[in-house]
Structure formats: structure tokens, C-alpha cells
Chains A and B, each alone.
Chain A
Amino acid sequence: DTGVSQDPRHKITKRGQNVTFRCDPISEHNRLYWYRQTLGQGPEFLTYFQNEAQLEKSRLLSDRFSAERPKGSFSTLEIQRTEQGDSAMYLCASSPEAALNYGYTFGSGTRLTVV
């Protein structure tokens, strides 16, 4: 297993456009997390899945953001009507259910620039 994969690595989009990112977790990990990180800050939790169920979503998350994990494997994060404030690194992480025996494995992230 090569770890957590995220695609694309970089995305530049015009304000108002929709964007979708993909995350492929480690295959035996049933938990998947999305985070957002802006420059000079720690990651900010967005949402997480256990298998295909979205169990928690940050209250800070706008309705323009939606995430899916339809078959409990890969996940997509969509941002509708992007705004300049959405520019950030979007990180995906996965873990086995007993995550807290270890840590989360993070992908390399998708850097979004909204112009």
C-alpha cells in the first residue's frame, strides 16, 4: 500500500466555480478525515467518515462544502461556488478504527487557489 493518495495536487479555479477533490485512503482503513490548512496554521477539521457513513461535520463548514464516501473506499470533497477564502491546502487522512493506537496517515494534500 502506498499510503493516502490525493488528487489533484494543485487546483487553480476562478471564483464561483465548483471544484471536486478525491482521496484514496489506505485500503484497510475504515476511517477517513478531511482537513483544511491555511498558511501558518494547523489543520482544521472538516468532516470524517467511518466506512460510508459521514459521522461528523464541522459546524464551521459552509453548506457549499459536501463530502461523500459512497462505497466506504475513496472519498470526494466538493466545494460549490468557490470563494477566495476557500484557498487553502485540503488534507485527507485515514486510520483504522482503533485509530488512537497510532496516529492518522495523511496524504500530501490538494492545494486550492481561487482567483
Chain B
Amino acid sequence: AQKVTQAQTEISVVEKEDVTLDCVYETRDTTYYLFWYKQPPSGELVFLIRRNSFDEQNEISGRYSWNFQKSTSSFNFTITASQVVDSAVYFCARGYQLIWGAGTKLIIKP
């Protein structure tokens, strides 16, 4: 199976620290899409970003940034100056119907 692996089950940091969530994927496709979603305690999945396999530019959106490296099949997500409101489970997903990682629970302590 073409998996998505999020090796970090849970990360806990103190507010204002930077934190990186790892995502490694497997695929035989030459063109594919990668996504990050956030699932706060309320439970609703919130779309954060989509990345095409042919676009290896890194992206920054406010305190969020994404590092896509096709050579290592990784699509990592960094939150800079974390805030308590960033506490959630973050999922990386790949593909058309979306193959999902198991998620990383991020805890930001005040």
C-alpha cells in the first residue's frame, strides 16, 4: 500500500517555540498531491494546504510553512512561534481520495 507516515504520535512544546511535524509518503505516481489538515478538539477537519508534486517550492503562510522534498518523499510542516490555539491533531494526506497519515497530536503549553 502507498502509505503516509507521520512518525510523531504526539509533540508537546511550550508556547512560542517552533515545532516541525514530519510527513513521509509513498507513491508510484509521477503526479500527485499532498495535503495538510488540522483537526482541533471540536473535531472538524480544516484544510491547511495542498501541494502538487511538480511544484517543489516551499510555502509560507503567516506562522505556517511547508517544506516539500520530493527526493526524500517528505512534506514537513513547521509552525513558528507556536500558540496555544495551534493545539490540535495534524494530518498529512496524499492523493486523489486522500491516503491519510495517522496524525500528530500537537500540544502547546502556555
Which residues on A are within 8 Å of B, measured CB to CB? 33, 35, 40-45, 48, 56, 89, 91, 93, 100-109
Chain A residues positioned under 8 Å from B50 (CB to CB): 100-103
| CB of B60 to closest CB in A, whole Å | 18
Q: A43 touching B100 by the CB < 8 A rule?
A: yes
Number of A-B contacts (CB under 8 A): 53
B87-109: which residues lie under 8 A (CB-CB) from chain A?
Answer: 91, 93, 96-103
Does B35 belong to the interface (CB within 8 Å)? yes
Question: Which one, B43, B98, B101, contacts A104 given CB within 8 A?
Answer: B98
Closest to A46 in B: B97
Chain A residues positioned under 8 Å from B42 (CB to CB): 108
Q: B47 touching A91 by the CB < 8 A rule?
A: no
Q: A91 touching B97 by the CB < 8 A rule?
A: no
- Give Cα A41–Cα B42 distance, bound, in whole angstroms: 16
Q: B43 touching A45 by the CB < 8 A rule?
A: no
What secondary structure prevails in chain B residues at the interface with A? strand
Interface flags, B35-57, vs A, CB<8A=1, else 0: 10100001111111110100000
Chain A residues positioned under 8 Å from B91 (CB to CB): 42-43
Question: Which one, B33, B35, B43, B93, contacts A109 given CB within 8 A?
Answer: B43
Question: Which one, B4, B47, B52, B103, contacts A103 given CB within 8 A?
Answer: B47
Q: A105 touching B47 by the CB < 8 A rule?
A: yes
Q: A108 touching B44 by the CB < 8 A rule?
A: yes
Sorted nearest first, the 6 A-B pairs with minimum C-beta distance are A42-B100, A103-B47, A106-B45, A45-B97, A108-B44, A42-B91
Closest to B99 in A: A45
Interface core residue of A33, A101, A104 (most chain B CB under 10 Å) = A104
Q: B98 touching A45 by the CB < 8 A rule?
A: yes
Closest to B48 in A: A103
